[in-house]
């Protein structure tokens, strides 16, 4: 589950980087502007980001153990 979340967070980060640098939304280009599939991708990326917050809390404890 951690790797899947990381992959989705990376996809989201790359997409936001493309939007910021080139005003190019890769997800919308691939799946349609706010189509059902693109909304699912956006939702999954958002959920992966929320899931990844656990690394902020548990990351330091695991390294010090």
Q: What is the pLDDT along the chain (65 residues), one digit of tens a residue?
A: 999 999 999 999 999 999 999 999 999 999 999 999 999 999 999 999 999 999 988 876 655 55
Give the Cα-Cα-Cα angle 27, 11, 39 (nearest 5 degrees). 40
Residue 4 in contact with residue 45, Cβ under 8 Å? Answer: no
pLDDT at 42: 96
Class of residue 38 by CB neighbours under 10 A (exposed 0-12, middle 13-18, buried 19+):
middle
């Amino acid at each position: 589950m951690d790797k899947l979340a990381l992959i989705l967070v990376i996809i989201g980060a790359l997409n936001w980087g493309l939007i910021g640098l080139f005003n190019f939304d890769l997800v919308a280009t691939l799946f349609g502007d706010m189509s059902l599939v693109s909304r699912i991708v956006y939702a999954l990326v958002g959920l992966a980001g929320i899931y990844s917050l656990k690394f902020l809390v548990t990351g330091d404890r695991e390294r010090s153990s």
